[in-house]
Structure 1
Amino acid sequence: MTEEAKGVLAMIGACVVWGLSGVYYKLLDHVPPLEILVHRTLWAFLFFLLVLAFQGRLRALPRAIATPRTFGIVAIAALMISINWFVFISSILFGYATEASMGYYIFPLTAVLAGALFYREKLNRPQMISVGLATLAVVILSVGLQVAPWVALILAFSFAAYGVVKKSLDTGPIVSVTAEVALLSPFAAAWLVVIQLQGTGHFGANFITTGLLIFAGIITSIPLILFSYATRRVSLATIGLVQYLNPTLQFLVATLIFREVFTLWHAIAFGLIWTALAIYTASSWRRGRAARKASRAASTSGTTV
C-alpha cells in the first residue's frame, strides 16, 4: 500500500470517528455538557501526554508555550476549541445535531472568508459565489424557522477562528493540541473536584458512565492523530474532499438515528450549502490540478536544461 493510500485511509478513519461521535455522546445524555467537556479535556490531555512520551517528544511541549506570543496563541486556540467542543456536545444532548452538521458543512467556507479577512487571501469568483450561497442558506433558514441557526454559526466560526490562530503557530499539530488541553486542564480539574465534592458529579457513579467519560478523551485524540498522519501524506485537495464525510455522517445520524425534525426550510438551506460546497470543491480541485501540472512542467523543464 502506498503512503498516499495510507493517508487517505487515515483521513477516512478520522472523519468516521468525528461523524459518528454524536452517537457516543448521546449515550451520556444524563450527564451535563460541561461535565462531559471537563472529562474530554482531562483524558485527552493524559492520552496526548502518553503519545508524546512514546514518541520521545515531551520536551517539545514546554517549548510550544515558551514565549508570551506562543502562549497567547495557544491560549486563544484553547478557548476556541473548547467553545467548539462544548457547543457540539450540547447540540447532541439537546436535539440540534442537524444544525451541528450544517456548521461543519459551512466551516470550509467560513475558513475561506477568514483567510480573506485576516490574511488578505483573495477570493476567486467560485469562492465568492460559494460564500454567498452559504450566507443565503443561513438567512433563509433564519427566516423560515424565525431564529438564527446559532449552533451552526458558532461551530463554523469558532473552528474557523481556531484555524486562523493555529496558522500563525509553527508547532506540530499533536504538540500544539496537547499544549491547548494542558492550559485547559487546571480549570477542568478544579471544576471536576468541585462537582465531585458537591456530589453532583457522575464520575464513579457506575462503571458504564465512568468508562464513557474516560473514553471521551480517547475518541477526541485518535482522530486528531489520524488527521495529522494524513496531512503529511495526502494533498490538501484530497483532504478537503474527504473531510465532507464528517458532516455527512453527522447529518445522517441526526436525521436517521436521532430522528430530528427536518423541515422544508432545512432542505432548502442544505441544498444551497451542498451546491456551494460543490462549486467550492470543483474550483479547488481544478486549481490544485493546474498547480500540479505547472509543477511537473517546471520539473521537466529543469531536468531538460
Structure 2
Amino acid sequence: MTSASQKQSEGNRGALLGFAAYLIWGVFPLYFKALEPAGAWEVLCHRIIWTMVFCLIALAAKRRLGYLRELLANPQQLGAITIAAVLIAINWAVYIQAVVSGHTVEAALGYFLNPLVTVALGVLVLREKLRVMQSVAVAIGIVACVYLAIDYGHPPWISVVLALSFAGYGLMKKRIGGSMDALESLGAESTVLTPIAVVVLIVITARGDTTFTTHGAGHAVLLLTAGIVTAVPLLLFAAAARRVPLVTIGLLQFVTPVLQLLCGVLLLGEHLDFARWVGFGIVWVALALLTFDSLRAAGRSRRLARAATSAAI
C-alpha cells in the first residue's frame, strides 16, 4: 500500500470513528431517559464515579497510573484539570436535567451554539482575530439568542449554559495541551470530581431518593454502564482527531445536536413550534457561514502548503 493510500485509509477510518463518537453522543437523550426515575443528581454522581473506575482500570491495564503522581506534583496543571472538571460537571448536570425534564430540544440548541461560542471565546480569552465571515456568524448567533430570549420570555438558559460550559471546557483542554491523552485527562477529571460525587450520593441515599438499589437489577446495570457510555465516545473522538483534519471534525460535530433534536421531537414527544424553528434556522445560517469559512480557510492552507512544497523542490 502506497503512502497516499495509507493516508486515505487512515483518514476514512478516522472519519468513521468520529462519526461513531458523535452518533453515541447524539442518542444520549435516550440513554438518560432510560435511567428514569433516577434524578439528574443521582445520574450525574454515578456517571462521575463509574467513569473514574473505568478510566483507572483501563490505565492500570496499560500501566500508566503513574501520571497521577506527576499531576499532583504539578499544581498549575492540577488547577487546570480541576477547572476543566468543574466545567464538564456543570455541562453534564445541566444536560441530564434538561433531558429528564423534557427540554432535550433546548439542550440540542446549546450544542448548535457551541461552535459559535468557542469562536467568541477565542477572541475574548485568547485574543484571536476573527475573519470577516466568522464575525458575521457570531453576530448572527447573538441575534438568534436575542430572538429566542424574546420568544421564550427569558434567555434560553439551558442552551447558553451548555454552550458556555462546553466551550470553556474545550478552552481549558487546549491550555492543558498534549501533556495527557484523552483517557488520562478524563481519568484525572473524574478522580477530582469523585469525592464530591460520593458525598452527594450519600446525601441522596440518606434522604431515601436513590433508585440504584430499589428499581431492579436492570436499572442498576444501566447506572453502572454510565462510565463506559461516557468514556467510549471520548476515546473514539480522540482516535478520530489524530487521523482527520480539524475541518472534518468540525463538520462531524453537527451530527450530535441534529440527532438530539430528532430524539427530542420524534421520540421523546417534545414540541417545537414555528417560532422556535425560526430561532433554530437563524442559528443554522450562522453555522453554515462558519462551516463555509472553515472549508475555505482549509483549502487555502492546503494550496499554500502545496505551493511551498513545490518551491522547495
Q: TM-score, normalized by length of structure 1?
A: 0.96
* Alignment partner of 1:281 is 2:288: no
**Equivalent residue, structure 2, for 1:125:** 132
Q: Look up the SS of the partner of 1:169 in the other structure.
A: helix
1:79-228 → structure 2 map (5 Å cutoff): 79-170=86-177, 171-205=180-214, 206-228=216-238
Q: Look up the SS of the partner of 2:202 in the other structure.
A: helix
* Alignment partner of 1:298 is 2:305: no
The one-character-per-residue Cα deviations of 1:13-42 (angstroms, maximum 9, x if unpaired) are: 100100001001011231110010000000
The one-character-per-residue Cα deviations of 1:269-303 (angstroms, maximum 9, x if unpaired) are: 1101111111000100110111112112212222x
| Counterpart Cα distance in 2 of 1:81 and 1:122 | 27
* Alignment partner of 1:271 is 2:281: yes
Aligned-pair CA distance for 1:56: 2.7
**Equivalent residue, structure 1, for 2:3:** none
Match of 2:17 among 1, 4, 10: 10
| Counterpart Cα distance in 2 of 1:58 and 1:296 | 42
**Equivalent residue, structure 2, for 1:40:** 47
Aligned-pair CA distance for 1:243: 0.8
Q: Look up the SS of the partner of 2:271 in the other structure.
A: coil
The one-character-per-residue Cα deviations of 1:81-109 (angstroms, maximum 9, x if unpaired) are: 00000000000000110010000001011
The one-character-per-residue Cα deviations of 1:219-262 (angstroms, maximum 9, x if unpaired) are: 11100000110111110000000110000000100111112121
Q: Given that residues 91 and 100 in structure 1 are in contact (C-alpha distance below 8 angstroms), is that contact kept between their aligned partners in structure 2?
A: yes
Q: TM-score, normalized by length of structure 2?
A: 0.94
Change (3 A) 1:269 1:65: farther
Q: Given that residues 65 and 74 in structure 1 are in contact (C-alpha distance below 8 angstroms), is that contact kept between their aligned partners in structure 2?
A: no
**Gaps in structure 2 of 5+ consecutive residues:** 1-5
**Gaps in structure 1 of 5+ consecutive residues:** none
| Counterpart Cα distance in 1 of 2:21 and 2:303 | 29
| Counterpart Cα distance in 2 of 1:147 and 1:29 | 28
Q: Look up the SS of the partner of 2:272 in the other structure.
A: coil
Q: Structure 1 segments of 4 or more deviating over 4 A?
A: none
| Counterpart Cα distance in 2 of 1:252 and 1:260 | 10
Change (3 A) 1:244 1:295: same
Aligned-pair CA distance for 1:53: 2.1
The one-character-per-residue Cα deviations of 1:34-88 (angstroms, maximum 9, x if unpaired) are: 0100000000111111222233322123323432211111111110000000000
Q: Given that residues 65 and 179 in structure 1 are in contact (C-alpha distance below 8 angstroms), is that contact kept between their aligned partners in structure 2?
A: no
User: Which letter does structure 1 place at the counterpart of 2:173?
Assistant: K
User: Which letter does structure 1 place at the counterpart of 2:187?
Assistant: T
| Counterpart Cα distance in 2 of 1:280 and 1:51 | 37
Identity among equivalent positions (%) equals: 37
* Alignment partner of 1:255 is 2:257: no
| Counterpart Cα distance in 2 of 1:165 and 1:36 | 25
User: Which letter does structure 2 place at the counterpart of 1:201?
Assistant: T
| Counterpart Cα distance in 2 of 1:34 and 1:48 | 21
Aligned residues between the structures? 303
| Counterpart Cα distance in 2 of 1:154 and 1:140 | 17
